[in-house]
Amino acid sequence: MRAFVYDRPTDVEQAVAAVAADPQAAFLAGGTTQLDLMKDGVWTPDRLVDITRLPLRGIMVDGQLMRVGALTSMEELAAEPAVADRLLMVREALLAGASTQLRNMATIGGNLLQRTRCRYFRDPTVSACNRRSPDSGCAAVDNHARMHAILGVDERCVALHASDVAVPLVAVDAQALVVGPQGQRHVPLTELWVRADEGPSIEHVLGHGELITAVDVPLLPAGWRSGYLKVRDRASYEFVLVSAAVAVLMDGDLIADLRIALGGVGSVPWRARQAEQMLRGTHVDPVRFEQAGRATVAGAYTLPGTAFKVDLAVATLTRQLLAMTTEATP
C-alpha cells in the first residue's frame, strides 16, 4: 500500500471541502472494501478523509418515513424494530449480506457505494478493465465470467453491483440525502448508479466531494408483506448469484400492489417495473409469475458463464412471488 495523507475533520462541511479541494482525495468510513482495494493497488488515493466521527449515525422514524444516517452500521439497521416490522426484506438482505463482524463495521452509505466484486477489476495485473481504465476493454467478456451481470451491460463491461441491501431499498423508492460543494440534494436510489452499458467507467452520479449523509426509506404501510431471497453457491457467507426483493399488498388472492427488485443480475440494483405492471391487479398465478420473470430478463446480455442466470432469475423471482403472495392470502 502506498503512502497517503490522513485527515479527520470535525464536521460535514470540513469533510466535503477537504475532498472537493483535492482531486485525489476520498472519504473513508467503515473501510471494509476500500482498504482491500488499496492493499491490492487497485485504488490509490493520495488523501483519505475519515468521516467515522461525524454525526451521521442513527435511525429516526417519522410516520411513514425512516431516515438512516449514512454511518449507521448494517447491524444497527438490521436491529431496528421498524425494519423488522415494516421492511422485513431490508432486514433479511442485511443479514444475508455479510458476516456479523462485517455488519458491525460496514456502514449503510459505504454499502451502497461499494465497488464491484469483478475479479478482473480487483486484479491490477489485468489491463483490460473499462471500469478501472477507460477504453482498455473488458477481460470478463473474453475470459471466465460467472459472478457477473446480465442486465444493464454490454461487451464493454459486465460488472455486477454486489450490494444486497440496495435491492430492497430500490424496491421501496428510497432516496439518498447528499451534501456537496454546491449544497444539499436528494438522489433517488433508482437514479444513483450508472448502468455499465451507459458508461462503463462511471459507477454513480455523485460528483467529487459529494457525500451521502443519510438515506430516506419509505416504510411499507400496514398490510404489506415483504421478503428477500438470496441464491448463492453456499448458505454461509457468500456473494449473490441472484436475489429477489418482493413486497406485496394482497386483497384476498388478488395482488392489489407490489414492489419488485432483483440483485445479482444487473450492473445496478434492478427495479423490475415491467413485472410489477404485469402483476398488479392480477390473481396469484405461478404461470403469470414466470411470464413476468421472463419479461424482466428479456434482452439480457449473456456470456457462456452467465447464461444460467436467465433461468435462475426467473425461478428465484417466481419462488419469492409465490412465497409472498401465498403467505399474504388469508
**Per-residue confidence in pLDDT tens, the chain, 330 aa:** 678 899 999 999 999 999 999 999 999 988 777 888 888 888 889 999 999 999 999 999 999 999 999 999 999 999 999 999 999 999 999 999 888 888 998 999 999 999 998 999 999 999 999 999 999 999 999 999 999 999 999 999 999 998 999 999 999 999 999 999 999 999 999 999 999 999 999 999 999 999 999 999 999 999 999 999 999 988 766 789 999 999 999 999 999 999 999 999 999 999 999 999 999 999 999 999 999 999 999 999 999 999 999 999 999 999 999 999 996 554
**Type of residue numbered 133:** S
Contacts for 61-67: CB closer than 8 Å, 24+ residues apart: 61/219, 64/218, 64/219, 64/221, 65/216, 65/217, 65/218, 65/219, 66/216, 66/217, 66/218, 66/219, 67/177, 67/214, 67/215, 67/216, 67/217
Residue 313 host element (H or E): helix 308-328
- Cα–Cα distance for residue pair 128/32, rounded to 1 Å: 25
On whether the CB atoms of residues 170 and 269 are closer than 8 A, the answer is: yes
What is the widest separation between alpha-carbon atoms in the chain?
62
Q: In the chain, where does the domain assigned CATH 3.30.390.50 lie?
A: 224-328
Length of the chain: 330
Say whether domain 1-52 belongs to CATH 3.30.43.10. yes
Joined together, the cell numbers standing for residue 25 give 482525495
Four-CA torsion 300, 304, 306, 310, nearest 10 degrees: 50
The conformation of residue 138, written as its DSSP 8-state character, comes to B
Burial class (CB in 10 A: 0-12, 13-18, 19+), 128: middle
Say whether domain 224-328 belongs to CATH 3.20.20.70. no
- Cα–Cα distance for residue pair 94/91, rounded to 1 Å: 5
Q: In the chain, where does the domain assigned CATH 3.30.43.10 lie?
A: 1-52
- Cα–Cα distance for residue pair 163/264, rounded to 1 Å: 9
